[in-house]
Amino acid sequence: MSTRSASRQSRCLKCGFEADSGSDEWNRVDAPPFRSLTQCPECGSTDVLSRS
């Protein structure tokens, strides 16, 4: 069990929107053959940078 408080953030490269990587704030788009893409809810861009 991890108790780390550091959360992974993802940032939209287009508009700069930021939220936790696993947050419901992000939209998810199924895009085979990729597992899924994270889509920005603000501008709809899938150019989202995940930081770990």
Binding site for Zn ion (CB under 5 A): 12, 14-15, 17, 40, 42-43, 45
CB of 2 to Zn ion, least distance (A): 29
Identify which of residues 8 and 15 has a Cβ nearer to Zn ion in the complex: 15
Q: Least distance in Å: CB of 41 to Zn ion?
A: 8
17 vs 37 by CB, closer to Zn ion: 17
Q: Is 21 exposed, middle or buried (0-12, 13-18, 19+ CB in 10 A)?
A: middle
